[in-house]
Chains A and B, each alone.
Chain A
Amino acid sequence: NAGVTQTPKFQVLKTGQSMTLQCAQDMNHNSMYWYRQDPGMGLRLIYYSASEGTTDKGEVPNGYNVSRLNKREFSLRLESAAPSQTSVYFCASSLTRANQPQHFGDGTRLSIL
């Protein structure tokens, strides 16, 4: 039982390059989330998908797009990477949007030069 799987684990980009971070869960969860964690801070919500076919902005959505490909997969895209997007990105899932615990992947460390 893999839980939440993120790929890649590490990536270095140049400013202006594009990149898609992949996330898949095998727990049959309805809701999925993308967070970023900057050094010394807690996580902040970028986008979420309450259910297949829906996506909504979180706290820090600027510069990102998402796609809920199917119930299992939720991808995060940086169209034109900027140094301010250097961060660790976490994907999470939960059975429903509220009143259920969220389960996190191991993160993707992204550096933008």
Chain B
Amino acid sequence: GIQVEQSPPDLILQEGANSTLRCNFSDSVNNLQWFHQNPWGQLINLFYIPSGTKQNGRLSATTVATERYSLLYISSSQTTDSGVYFCAVVIKAAGNKLTFGGGTRVLVKP
């Protein structure tokens, strides 16, 4: 079956630190999204990035489709960055179904 693996599973940061989250996937993708699930449970769209690099403020993401991974960078982390970050992919061979990874739980300490 399709594999979407995120690492690390947990991350504790001091406010102001930088970090990199990784998402590995097992097949060619049509769609890759990064989400932030905040402590209230809301899923916030961060990036739609099936390939290439995008930046939005302190966050940026890079997907290398040929090597089947994506990276999410958080710079100058803030306590509001706490929550769970999910990578989700649509793999054409799987009928265009969005499959989620297990998430990276991030805690930013003041």
Contacts and interface: CB of A to CB of B under 8 A. Distances in A.
Contacts of A98: 30-31, 90, 92, 96
A104 interface: yes
Interface in B80-97: 86, 88, 90, 92, 96-97
B101 A42 contact: yes
Interface residues of A, number: 23
Contacts of B100: 42-44
A78 B87 CA distance: 28
Contact of B43 (A44, A45, A90, A97): A90
A42 B45 contact: no
Interface residues of B, number: 23
Majority secondary structure, B binding face: strand
Given A33-B98, A42-B101, A42-B103, A101 B86 contact: no
B16 to A, nearest CB: 28
B96 A41 contact: no
Interface of B: 4, 30-31, 33, 35, 41-43, 45, 48, 50, 86, 88, 90, 92, 96-103
28 contacts: A41-B102, A41-B103, A42-B4, A42-B86, A42-B103, A43-B86, A43-B88, A43-B100, A44-B100, A45-B97, A48-B97, A59-B97, A90-B43, A98-B30, A98-B90, A98-B96, A99-B30, A99-B31, A99-B90, A100-B48, A101-B31, A101-B45, A102-B33, A103-B45, A104-B43, A104-B45, A107-B41, A107-B43
Interface of A: 33, 41-45, 48, 58-59, 88, 90, 92, 97-104, 106-107, 109
